Amino acid sequence: MKGEDLFEVLSDLDDQKILEAKQASFRKKARMRALWSMVAAVLMLCILGGLILPRLPFGRQGEEEAEYEAVCEENKPGPEDTAEDIPADLILTLALYPQPAAAGMSQEEYMESDAYGTWWEDSREKTDISSKYADSMRAYDQEIMERILYSEEDNAVCSPLNTYIALAMLAEVTDGSSRQQILDTLHVSDMDELRTKTEALWEGNYADTPNLKSLLANSLWLRAGDSYNMDTLSRLSDIYFASAFGGDPGSEEMTRALQAWTDDNTGGFLKEYTEGMRLTPDTVLSLVSTIYYKAAWQNTFWEGATSPGTFHGTKGDTQAEMMHRSDVMGVCRTDDFTGISLGLLDSGAMHFYLPAEGKDVNALLTDPEIWKVLSRDGEEGWSYPEVNLTLPIFKVGGKTDLLPVLEELGIRDVMNPSLADFTPLKKDSDGLALTAAEHAAMVEIDENGVTGAAYTELSVEETAALEPEEVLDLTFDRPFLFMVTGRDGSVLFSGVVRNIE
């Protein structure tokens, strides 16, 4: 059965049966996560002595120390559980990710097996939920794209979903106005909405099949010896599938482990950027979110049709390998651009926008019409001609300092140690601030399909008091003015002291 036919059959499934299956799936997942959270709690307590309060987990404070240590040892990850290239002594917990679909099958075997239909059914349930939230992300998508992708002449690339998930994790470890600024930027009203939305988006976009790799991962990098809030760490593991690692952030061992974990979860696609990742001795927590994506075109380009051509770029004309394909396609035309979408096997699509002659591509970043191409919204501007398509083979990548981007979006308090509120992370959070935030991404296309990867790293550090710019000796030994104000700032008293009697 073809994928298109299968999708039509699935579309006719009884809604009640789908709902019952969905509820059963959620109940099973909840049980598995609850079990894993218990394991994570014991393990976290064991590795980072004094990490969590109370001393013994699950109200078992009266048990003998030897029995407690035995439980910890039993739940410590073994060699078979450890991430590749990461020392076992740094691993606190490893997130429990969904098993690959049809592991060991070739693409052809998978397409002809029952596993393919099972995956489609499960995937449709999840995307039916997540698609409603994806539509609500358009405002954030446009805001982050405008700030990261704008350039006069350089290539630029980002992953809005990846940055969104990273900021959602940052909201989990903050409170007060620090958290509210993040919620406002993410266009959600409260943490319950954010958690529901992020979990749905994560599950709707995660796939590991012979046809499609859309792998999302998260991690926490903690400073050993500090006392952290277990509820917060468990929530990050449960909702965000965040693995936890602990050690000495200033050590070369932990920095290499961070780089290795990020490489493992981005397919080694971003090595030129991960080589610069560092954890400083003052790092209390680093949140790292990744995505790796690899999908084939639904209709591939014939390699024999690829030929040299000229690309007229902002830095001048260059030679490029141009792919060619002729087909009837949906085309969206406005006064400012022409847009098309190319379907990806078992996934969504890749959308391309060609600015109208004389139009700057930067103007599209703020054009609300670009979202019509994604949703096929309305009939106006759409036609279905036969298109002789020419696309360059390309690979674009870049790394962005997110701190000024976040500040522009309104996330400011977390960067100021006097205003930042990290009490959900640790009770003694004075002096903590978001001191580093970077986003790296890369996308490559050729005749076969699309490969992309991205990571976002948000580092929270202990900050020292600011060094004074000058030394000032101030002595009130001559007439001076004073004021006394109330709690609301009202001036209750004022006066001038001219003499001391």
- 94-136 per-position pLDDT tens digit: 888 888 998 889 999 999 999 999 999 998 898 888 888 887 8
408 φ/ψ angles, rounded to the nearest 5 degrees? -65, -30
What percentage of residues in the chain have a pLDDT greater than 90? Answer: 39
| Most confident among 174-188, 358-372, 381-395, 484-498 (mean pLDDT) | 174-188
**307 and 426 part of one domain:** no
**352 and 446 part of one domain:** no
pLDDT of residue 475: 59
Give one DSSP letter per residue of 445-500, joined into a string: E-SSEEEEEEEEEEEEEE-PPPPPS--------S-EEEEEE-TTS-EEEEEEE---
pLDDT of residue 481: 57
Q: Is 427 among the domain residues?
A: yes
Q: Is 218 among the domain residues?
A: yes
**156 and 243 part of one domain:** yes
- State the Rg of the chain over Cα: 27
pLDDT of residue 469: 59
CATH number, position 207 = 3.30.497.10
At residue 23 the predicted structure's pLDDT band, cuts being 50, 70 and 90, is very low
Range scoring the smallest mean pLDDT among 63-72, 147-156, 306-315, 372-381: 63-72
Integer Cα distance of 361 and 370 in angstroms: 12
**165 and 231 part of one domain:** yes
pLDDT of residue 458: 96
Residue with the larger pLDDT of the pair 167 and 365: 167
Residue with the larger pLDDT of the pair 5 and 403: 403
**324 and 386 part of one domain:** yes
- Which of 368, 392, 416 marks a domain boundary? 392
Q: What is the DSSP letter of 414?
A: G
Mean pLDDT of the region 456-485: 66
Q: Is 479 among the domain residues?
A: no
Res 10 pLDDT > 90:
no
Res 140 pLDDT > 60:
yes
At residue 276 the predicted structure's pLDDT band, cuts being 50, 70 and 90, is very high
Q: Which residue has the tokens 């990490």?
A: 51
Mean pLDDT of the region 6-32: 35
**190 and 99 part of one domain:** yes
Residue with the larger pLDDT of the pair 135 and 204: 204
At residue 372 the predicted structure's pLDDT band, cuts being 50, 70 and 90, is confident
Integer Cα distance of 18 and 168 in angstroms: 29
Q: Is 46 among the domain residues?
A: no
| CA angle, 293 then 294 then 296, to 5° | 145
**165 and 190 part of one domain:** yes
Q: Is 468 among the domain residues?
A: no
| Domain hosting residue 383, numbered range | 303-392
Residue with the larger pLDDT of the pair 149 and 42: 149
CATH number, position 338 = 2.30.39.10
**292 and 307 part of one domain:** no
Tokens coding 460: 């929270």
Tokens coding 57: 């987990």
**216 and 355 part of one domain:** no
pLDDT of residue 172: 97
pLDDT of residue 448: 94
pLDDT of residue 479: 61
Q: What is the DSSP letter of 305?
A: G
Q: Is 13 among the domain residues?
A: no
At residue 360 the predicted structure's pLDDT band, cuts being 50, 70 and 90, is confident
Give one DSSP letter per residue of 50-82, joined into a string: T-SSSSSGGG-TTS-HHHHHHHHHHHS--GGGS
**320 and 380 part of one domain:** yes
Res 13 pLDDT > 70:
no
SS3 of residue 242 by DSSP? strand
pLDDT of residue 344: 85
Residue with the larger pLDDT of the pair 469 and 50: 469
pLDDT of residue 371: 83
Task: List, as own/partner pairs, every contact residues 123-131 make where C-beta atoms lie below 8 angstroms and the sequence separation is at least 24, other chains included.
Answer: 123/207, 123/346, 124/7, 124/10, 125/18, 125/21, 125/22, 125/25, 126/200, 126/203, 126/204, 127/204, 128/18, 129/200, 129/203, 129/204, 130/200, 130/201, 130/203, 130/204, 130/205, 131/204
SS3 of residue 222 by DSSP? strand
Q: Is 472 among the domain residues?
A: no
Which residues in 146-172 are b (16+ Cβ under 10 Å) and which e?
A: ebbbeeeeeeebbbbbbbbbbbbbbbb
**321 and 404 part of one domain:** no
**237 and 124 part of one domain:** yes
Mean pLDDT of the chain: 78
What percentage of residues in the chain have a pLDDT greater than 70? Answer: 75
**Which distant-in-sequence residues (6+ apart) come within 8 Å of 28 by Cβ?**
none
Q: Which of 13, 38, 209 is nearest to 110 (CA)?
A: 209
Alpha helix (H) ranges present in 77-137?
107-111, 114-135
From residue 483, how far is each of 10, 333, 479, 487 by CA, in Å?
75, 66, 14, 13
Q: Are 159 and 454 in contact (CB under 8 A)?
A: yes
Q: Is 5 among the domain residues?
A: no
pLDDT of residue 267: 94
SS3 of residue 200 by DSSP? helix
Task: Name beta bridge partners: 325.
Answer: 389
Number of domains in the chain: 2
Res 17 pLDDT > 50:
no
Mean pLDDT of the region 371-379: 73
Q: Are 450 and 460 in contact (CB under 8 A)?
A: no
Q: Which of 471, 428, 414 is nearest to 169 (CA)?
A: 414
297 φ/ψ angles, rounded to the nearest 5 degrees? -65, 145
In this prediction the pTM is 0.79
